[in-house]
Chain A
């Protein structure tokens, strides 16, 4: 069985191999490479900032569920600087990705001319920098204070994180919304939907939750995490996973129903592109594997209390998160004949490898449980 300490080295080799392959694509086949890279980056970035959001949410609300996955999520939040560095290449691929970067296309299109005050490269870049500054600052402070508490045991640090978490979540909601508009919605620059930001927020939080359950299940085979990651904790996590699966389905279905019933020429093409040909199968898979099966299984107490079944289910949800993001991003390039391509996997595993390497390094450097901030679980775990 793999150990946390040996994970970084293996993950780095996977990451470097993937990125080298992706680099070949970048020069040989840039039309395929850039969508792949954007998709891969947004998935892993979503996991990073989703982790930061769940950590802040737990600081704000408390509850037994959060202590078992706190350190897993914090390590995830620490990967945001890496994702910022990996975002830099995207600035060089803007013209391959976004129609609105082409002056002649914009000049010929009245709607795009109107939008050029928002969708232009300087403002786009400025906003991207701003988003990353906000995310890095939030993740840095929240994790620094939490790790610091392991050393000093100062309860005021918890209070400080709590004070930051409220405004932090507001900032997170605002930045991720506009990031979703900038990076994904503007791939199809005529289309718009007001629920889009919420859909992304819930998608990222669900991704972070599923990943955290999976990783906590793996790490809880040994002490110290096994002390607090009990079946009670997994039961609570399973309930929350169910809630987020339902919320995701709720906003996804709401958007679909409203656009379908309106059937307006500027809105419906988004769904037409995503339900034609092979994409219809993908959409059907999501109904079954992203909603129906997790929903029905997570109603069962036995499934939630058993670490193995819950972890398997989280793994399935995580795979469906990848599929969902692929389904959201890739059909935008369909008209240019860009679809499934080996560079999808290369970029995905390339960035993912580096992500995991950093995650594992951060997770191994600190205690796996927040020893001085365990709420009512404290006595049992620290003296056990």
Chain B
């Protein structure tokens, strides 16, 4: 990582505050102090307790719903014939999609040497893990008997059965377990040097032992760093195909069938773009309050928000292209079922949802062409929230409108989510936020050592050149 740097274009002097990925005036010590203080010394803000309480109550809602579900059966949800996939798959796809930003930031932006990833990668990776956890709940609970989940794995058994290898649902099992494992390893390995910093700085014995245990004996020797960098790069290489593969397999869940509105060849790239789009919207949604309440504006700068807004714009346009191609090809195909599918979306009983998704995902997004909007924190926050909602609506439209009216009018029906669908959804948001609040409180939300490596860029050396990060001391 440290041997090859891209063209050092961004390091131009005089200093341009809009292009800075780390505000000027910091020293190695101030970065470590500021980030580690969030965990170790600063009083936990009252807002944290308030937020955590709300999140925790929502998590309880999830637990009650899950307990009732296991006791009663999936009949408490609104899924029935013909819409056999409802909120469970919508929320599953939504959460999995959100997770993608973390992997993209940590793996692909690392390989592309996009150094602005540094301050947002840690919490984006945490977000990925928590989103995957939320996503994983839904298929497990939808099984009705989640304790038999291992039947999904191919293993020799006395029943003499194997999972159907042609079913993308089985591919999902592998794609998602791999994704969760690699994401966790990536996040944890990235944390190790910072855990050692926390170990060294913690004042109470309990925390010293806990962080020391997690730091796995990190001493910051040159050999440790060399191995660390090697491992991190290798994991980045491994994680890169996962960014594409997971949502591709999720898209196959739909596209491999022959239902109009699901059987579309554009689904794989369109789902991947949508996943990255919703993921970045979620990172922006989390980053803006985080930097405000914890005064991290020096680390998560306008440059970060601007870049993330640009990625949202690019991926959102690809998603818009997907909507356009779906509609155009349905009309162009001349196939009456394909044409009815799009007409039903435009004018059928769920038309308001379809129009709302177009407004949220394509209409509002266009504001991000303007640099002024991208640099307006409030506007960006509002747009990110709208996109989060829009991407959920998109999955609703895909799942429900295609199933509720298929080839035979006699088998048409409507899907109505029940109260338990909603409590389950709200509950998974509670799980996500609870984990997020705990993460903010217990672990460094920004990578301390990587921020320190950025420091030389903001402090030009007298010779006019800049010190390369590799030459900078990186241990505490």
A residues with CB within 8 A of B: 62-64, 110-112, 114-115, 118, 166, 170, 173-174, 177, 181, 190, 192-198, 232, 250-251, 254-255, 257-259, 261-262, 264, 266, 375-377
| B160 adjacent to chain A (CB < 8 Å) | no
Indicate whether A197 sits within 8 Å of B258 (C-beta atoms), given known contacts A250-B268, A255-B265, A375-B9.
no
**Contact: A194 with B326, CB < 8 Å?**
yes
Indicate whether A198 sits within 8 Å of B333 (C-beta atoms), given known contacts A257-B252, A262-B258, A262-B263.
no
What are 17 A-B residue pairs whose CB atoms fall within 8 Å in the complex? A62-B7, A62-B9, A64-B6, A64-B7, A110-B334, A177-B325, A192-B329, A192-B332, A193-B329, A194-B264, A194-B266, A194-B322, A194-B325, A197-B321, A257-B252, A258-B264, A259-B265
| B290 adjacent to chain A (CB < 8 Å) | no
8 tightest A-B CB contacts, nearest first: A376-B7, A194-B266, A111-B334, A195-B265, A114-B334, A254-B268, A195-B266, A194-B325
Give B267's nearest chain A residue, CB to CB. Answer: A258
**Contact: B7 with A258, CB < 8 Å?**
no
Write out the residue numbers on chain A whose beta carbons fall within 8 Å of the beta carbon of B332.
115, 118, 181, 192
Give A233's nearest chain B residue, CB to CB. Answer: B7
**Contact: A115 with B334, CB < 8 Å?**
yes
Write out the residue numbers on chain A whose beta carbons fall within 8 Å of the beta carbon of B258.
262, 264
Give B268's nearest chain A residue, CB to CB. Answer: A254
**Contact: A194 with B329, CB < 8 Å?**
yes
Per the bound structure, the CA–CA distance linking A64 and B112 in Å amounts to 11
CB-defined interface of B382-395 with A at 8 Å, one 1/0 digit per residue? 00000000000000
**Contact: B325 with A251, CB < 8 Å?**
no
| B256 adjacent to chain A (CB < 8 Å) | yes
| B205 adjacent to chain A (CB < 8 Å) | no
| B335 adjacent to chain A (CB < 8 Å) | yes
**Whole-angstrom distance between the Cβ of A228 and the nearest chain B Cβ:** 10
Write out the residue numbers on chain A whose beta carbons fall within 8 Å of the beta carbon of B325.
177, 194-195, 197
Per the bound structure, the CA–CA distance linking A62 and B268 in Å amounts to 27
Per the bound structure, the CA–CA distance linking A198 and B268 in Å amounts to 11
Given contacts A194-B326, A375-B9, 16 further A-B contacts (CB under 8 A): A110-B334, A111-B334, A118-B332, A193-B265, A194-B322, A195-B264, A195-B325, A197-B325, A232-B4, A250-B268, A257-B256, A258-B264, A261-B166, A262-B258, A376-B7, A376-B8
Write out the residue numbers on chain A whose beta carbons fall within 8 Å of the beta carbon of B252.
257-258
Write out the residue numbers on chain A whose beta carbons fall within 8 Å of the beta carbon of B263.
258, 262, 264
Indicate whether A63 sits within 8 Å of B265 (C-beta atoms), given known contacts A197-B325, A254-B248.
no
Per the bound structure, the CA–CA distance linking A337 and B256 in Å amounts to 33
**Contact: A266 with B256, CB < 8 Å?**
no
**Whole-angstrom distance between the Cβ of A111 and the nearest chain B Cβ:** 4
Write out the residue numbers on chain A whose beta carbons fall within 8 Å of the beta carbon of B133.
none
Per the bound structure, the CA–CA distance linking A190 and B268 in Å amounts to 23
Per the bound structure, the CA–CA distance linking A375 and B265 in Å amounts to 39
Per the bound structure, the CA–CA distance linking A170 and B325 in Å amounts to 14
Give A202's nearest chain B residue, CB to CB. Answer: B269
| B213 adjacent to chain A (CB < 8 Å) | no
**Contact: A173 with B321, CB < 8 Å?**
yes
**Contact: A254 with B9, CB < 8 Å?**
no
| B255 adjacent to chain A (CB < 8 Å) | yes
Per the bound structure, the CA–CA distance linking A258 and B333 in Å amounts to 16
Per the bound structure, the CA–CA distance linking A255 and B267 in Å amounts to 9
**Contact: B264 with A266, CB < 8 Å?**
no
| B244 adjacent to chain A (CB < 8 Å) | yes
Among the listed A115, A198, A261, A377, which residue makes an inter-chain contact with B269, where contact means beta carbons less than 8 Å apart? A198
| B48 adjacent to chain A (CB < 8 Å) | no
Indicate whether A63 sits within 8 Å of B6 (C-beta atoms), given known contacts A251-B268, A261-B166.
yes
Write out the residue numbers on chain A whose beta carbons fall within 8 Å of the beta carbon of B255.
258
| B151 adjacent to chain A (CB < 8 Å) | no
Per the bound structure, the CA–CA distance linking A127 and B117 in Å amounts to 42
**Whole-angstrom distance between the Cβ of B5 and the nearest chain A Cβ:** 9
| B68 adjacent to chain A (CB < 8 Å) | no
Per the bound structure, the CA–CA distance linking A190 and B329 in Å amounts to 11
Per the bound structure, the CA–CA distance linking A115 and B328 in Å amounts to 12
| B369 adjacent to chain A (CB < 8 Å) | yes
Write out the residue numbers on chain A whose beta carbons fall within 8 Å of the beta carbon of B264.
194-195, 258
Write out the residue numbers on chain A whose beta carbons fall within 8 Å of the beta carbon of B334.
110-112, 114-115, 190
| B317 adjacent to chain A (CB < 8 Å) | yes
**Whole-angstrom distance between the Cβ of A325 and the nearest chain B Cβ:** 19
**Contact: A192 with B256, CB < 8 Å?**
no
**Whole-angstrom distance between the Cβ of A28 and the nearest chain B Cβ:** 36
**Whole-angstrom distance between the Cβ of B116 and the nearest chain A Cβ:** 13
**Whole-angstrom distance between the Cβ of A328 and the nearest chain B Cβ:** 14
Indicate whether A254 sits within 8 Å of B269 (C-beta atoms), given known contacts A110-B334, A114-B334, A264-B258.
yes
**Whole-angstrom distance between the Cβ of A106 and the nearest chain B Cβ:** 12
Per the bound structure, the CA–CA distance linking A377 and B257 in Å amounts to 51
Per the bound structure, the CA–CA distance linking A177 and B321 in Å amounts to 10
**Contact: B269 with A251, CB < 8 Å?**
yes
Per the bound structure, the CA–CA distance linking A337 and B344 in Å amounts to 42
Write out the residue numbers on chain B whose beta carbons fall within 8 Å of the beta carbon of A115.
332, 334
Write out the residue numbers on chain A whose beta carbons fall within 8 Å of the beta carbon of B244.
250
Per the bound structure, the CA–CA distance linking A95 and B329 in Å amounts to 24
Give B339's nearest chain A residue, CB to CB. Answer: A114
**Whole-angstrom distance between the Cβ of B367 and the nearest chain A Cβ:** 14
Per the bound structure, the CA–CA distance linking A306 and B258 in Å amounts to 47
Give B317's nearest chain A residue, CB to CB. Answer: A170
Give B12's nearest chain A residue, CB to CB. Answer: A376
- For A110, A114, A181, which residue has the most chain B Cβ atoms within 10 angstroms? A114
Write out the residue numbers on chain B whose beta carbons fall within 8 Å of the beta carbon of A232.
4
Write out the residue numbers on chain A whose beta carbons fall within 8 Å of the beta carbon of B267.
194, 254, 258
Write out the residue numbers on chain A whose beta carbons fall within 8 Å of the beta carbon of B268.
195, 250-251, 254, 258
Give A197's nearest chain B residue, CB to CB. Answer: B325
Give B166's nearest chain A residue, CB to CB. Answer: A261
**Contact: A375 with B7, CB < 8 Å?**
yes
Write out the residue numbers on chain B whose beta carbons fall within 8 Å of the beta carbon of A192.
329, 332-333
Write out the residue numbers on chain A whose beta carbons fall within 8 Å of the beta carbon of B333.
192, 266
Write out the residue numbers on chain B whose beta carbons fall within 8 Å of the beta carbon of A261.
166, 256
Per the bound structure, the CA–CA distance linking A170 and B369 in Å amounts to 12
Per the bound structure, the CA–CA distance linking A192 and B325 in Å amounts to 11
Per the bound structure, the CA–CA distance linking A135 and B263 in Å amounts to 32
Give A109's nearest chain B residue, CB to CB. Answer: B334
Write out the residue numbers on chain A whose beta carbons fall within 8 Å of the beta carbon of B6.
63-64, 376
Write out the residue numbers on chain A whose beta carbons fall within 8 Å of the beta carbon of B322.
194
Write out the residue numbers on chain A whose beta carbons fall within 8 Å of the beta carbon of B248.
250, 254
Write out the residue numbers on chain B whose beta carbons fall within 8 Å of the beta carbon of A195.
264-266, 268-269, 325
Give B248's nearest chain A residue, CB to CB. Answer: A254
**Whole-angstrom distance between the Cβ of A98 and the nearest chain B Cβ:** 15
Per the bound structure, the CA–CA distance linking A375 and B255 in Å amounts to 44
Write out the residue numbers on chain B whose beta carbons fall within 8 Å of the beta carbon of A114.
334
CB-defined interface of B380-424 with A at 8 Å, one 1/0 digit per residue? 000000000000000000000000000000000000000000000
**Whole-angstrom distance between the Cβ of A146 and the nearest chain B Cβ:** 17
**Contact: A266 with B326, CB < 8 Å?**
no
**Whole-angstrom distance between the Cβ of A322 and the nearest chain B Cβ:** 24
CB-defined interface of B111-144 with A at 8 Å, one 1/0 digit per residue? 0000000000000000000000000000000000
Write out the residue numbers on chain A whose beta carbons fall within 8 Å of the beta carbon of B265.
193-196, 254-255, 258-259
**Whole-angstrom distance between the Cβ of A137 and the nearest chain B Cβ:** 19
Give B237's nearest chain A residue, CB to CB. Answer: A299
**Whole-angstrom distance between the Cβ of B195 and the nearest chain A Cβ:** 32
Write out the residue numbers on chain B whose beta carbons fall within 8 Å of the beta carbon of A251.
268-269
